[in-house]
Structure 1
Amino acid sequence: MNYIVTTSPHLHDADGVAVLMRRVLYALLPGVLLQMWFFGWGVLLNIALSVATAWTVEALMLWARQRPLQPFLSDYSAVLTACLFAVALPPFLPWWMPVLGMVFAIIFAKQLYGGLGHNPFNPAMVGYAILLISFPAEMTRWPYPVYLMPETLNFWHSVQWSFMGTLSHSSVVSIDALTGATPLDALKTGLAQNESIRTLRMQPLFDTWVAVGWQWVNVAYLLGGMWLLYKRVIYWPIPVGFLLGLVSLSSLFFMMDSGRYVDPIFHLFTGATMLGVFFIATDPVTAATSPRARFVYGLGIGVLVYVIRTWGGYPDGVAFAVLFMNLTAPALDVWLKPRPFGR
């Protein structure tokens, strides 16, 4: 009798990389649709440009590295990276900025390290951070939610602005009439000018809960993240650590001085918080791996997000917090590795 002898692993998970990536894309969909509803067609345009660039650059890099195209292009990793990158971008950007950020993310943050599974930094956040550092004015200018816009723009207007830098609109002369600071940016700027939070939150951009539009987008990403937890695509230590770090610090400083520090609910449901908690920080390649290390990794991201938002030079700190903790992930896995069975 002939026996077939193979090396490990002897047990295989039926859910491959492509299945897991598709599930994350499905979970992103509610948040993406609400972003389009509140902030316009530019969200879809950024996604289209980023996905097309990611696929093209990934194919060229695989060809240059003499790797097979089909297995890597069909695993949806480049598509997911492009979507996470695109939804973090302001909808009114010239076309070359999403393209530039995605080129840098795929080449320098992913393929030069060996491709999926070898990159030490989250590629989507690397691309976003490069654009934010290089073009801070453009990257912090978001459109007002549709309820606050003086004019309604269709998909053609978004295409015109992206590719030609103009709007063929009779009553809108400049894009500045439709864009402004995000709630986090407006709050940070106002506090720097010694205005109180009570006064700042009387602006039309804010409502009685958090900020117009932003809270519902974050709720959608929260629901998508809960579905990922249910399907065991991601695991609880990183999200719980992230939320605990952010809520603990924001609660402490809010209780110390509610006139200078905003409440935890505001931090949870504005900016990229829920996107970062469930979709960015939980990247299995660049995050820590052991349970205790994952919790500390998430806790560090939550603390850094609050520190950057409150005292840093940027209104939102998710990208920089994730990239910084990517650096610590290997050390956390060594210091907090599980105890061997039997000891």
Structure 2
Amino acid sequence: MSDLLHISSSPHVRSKVSTSGIMGTVLLALLPAALFGIYNFGPHALLLILISMATCVATEAVYEHFMHKKLTVRDYSAAVTGLLLALNLPPSAPWWIPVIGGVFAVLVVKQLFGGLGQNFMNPALAARCFLLISFTGRMTNFAVPENAWGKVVDTVSGATPLAALKAGESVDVMSLFLGNVQGTIGETSALAILIGAAILLGTKVIDCRIPLTYIGTFAVFVLLFGGHGFDMSYLAAHLFGGGLMLGAWFMATDYVTTPITKKGQLVYGVCLGVFTGLFRIFGGSAEGVSYAIIFCNLLVPLIERVTMPVAFGKGGKKA
């Protein structure tokens, strides 16, 4: 009879899905955007990706070694952080930019707050914002590297499509969708990003609740306050331009920094759409996705508190 009794702490029902499995799938899903970025911007883009991923993995390994903690680089979370950071860098960035960003992302934002599962905001986006504040000129120089396979990229009047759009210029929506434009390494091709999103959805690593709420709210905001009425070309340029697609499908869905409740995820998506719209339409910068996501990361504890379902048997009216 004693053989039938097994005493253990909760949780008593465990999933067979591992962290390394999830992160491996995310790496696979990011591959289309990464490969297109390398094709679009040349060998220097590949170099930045490799340096960023190596820096993040090495920083995590060194920190855990000296802190006598369990080595976690095999769960691929540091590699994902490094790849996401690289995809958010301009292709002309010097090699030391991903080094500084990778150390900041893994050491300051992730490890000093307890490691995987304890960070209060997305490490890759926190690092990008840190780099934008510290090295504004380097992080906003979207010139195509000279060694970009001899490929000619549509420069959209010497600016990113969103900057051109904010200046009142017209942009080619099809070029935005396919990716033949300026921008960061991984954000230019909405098509490549959507292929990766399909992989995440098909493998059930994410669901579409947060991304669609985010994109839908932002679309409504642009139509109402963008100043162009119901101009679908203008809306499409905002949807496919900049980091919206990359942010919505790959960074707003980060397990650690998003609400755990279903209602909370909807509220979170609405907040993301509103703040991105505010930053893009009324802010001084043409972009706003990175700041919107890390700001909403800080709202997650409050969102969870107000959307947490009442436990069964509690909350009823007293006689």
- Residue type matched to 1:320 in 2? Y
Residue in structure 2 matched with residue 140 of structure 1 by the alignment: 140
How far is 1:321 from its partner? 0.4
2:296 is the alignment partner of 1:318: no
Residue in structure 1 matched with residue 238 of structure 2 by the alignment: 267
Write the distance in 1 (CA, Å) between the matches of 2:220 and 2:36: 28
CA deviation digits over 1:85-127, x for unaligned, max 9? 1001001111111100111111110000000000111100111
How far is 1:258 from its partner? 5.1
2:186 is the alignment partner of 1:230: no
Write the distance in 2 (CA, Å) between the matches of 1:143 and 1:322: 26
How far is 1:213 from its partner? 1.9
The within-5 A match list for 1:1-343 is 1-2=2-3, 3-69=5-71, 72-144=72-144, 153-154=148-149, 180-188=158-166, 190=167, 197=168, 200-201=169-170, 206-207=171-172, 209=174, 211=176, 213-214=180-181, 217-254=189-226, 256-257=227-228, 263-341=234-312
CA contact (8 A) 2:32 2:193 kept: yes
Moved over 4 A (4+): 258-262
Structure 1 143/39 Cα, relative in aligned 2: closer, same or farther at 3 Å? farther
CA deviation digits over 1:248-298, x for unaligned, max 9? 0112235x5359997221111111111101100000101111001111111
Write the distance in 1 (CA, Å) between the matches of 2:195 and 2:221: 24
CA RMSD of aligned residues (A): 2.5
TM-score, length basis structure 1: 0.81
CA contact (8 A) 2:173 2:233 kept: no
Structure 1 334/81 Cα, relative in aligned 2: closer, same or farther at 3 Å? same
Write the distance in 1 (CA, Å) between the matches of 2:135 and 2:250: 24
Structure 1 109/208 Cα, relative in aligned 2: closer, same or farther at 3 Å? closer
Structure 1 181/332 Cα, relative in aligned 2: closer, same or farther at 3 Å? same
Aligned length, in residue pairs: 300
Flag structure 1 segments of 5+ consecutive residues without an equivalent: 156-176, 191-196
Write the distance in 1 (CA, Å) between the matches of 2:55 and 2:132: 19
Secondary structure in 1 matching 2:257:
coil
TM-score, length basis structure 2: 0.86
Secondary structure in 2 matching 1:293:
helix
Residue in structure 1 matched with residue 184 of structure 2 by the alignment: none
- Residue type matched to 1:17 in 2? T
Write the distance in 2 (CA, Å) between the matches of 1:14 and 1:187: 47
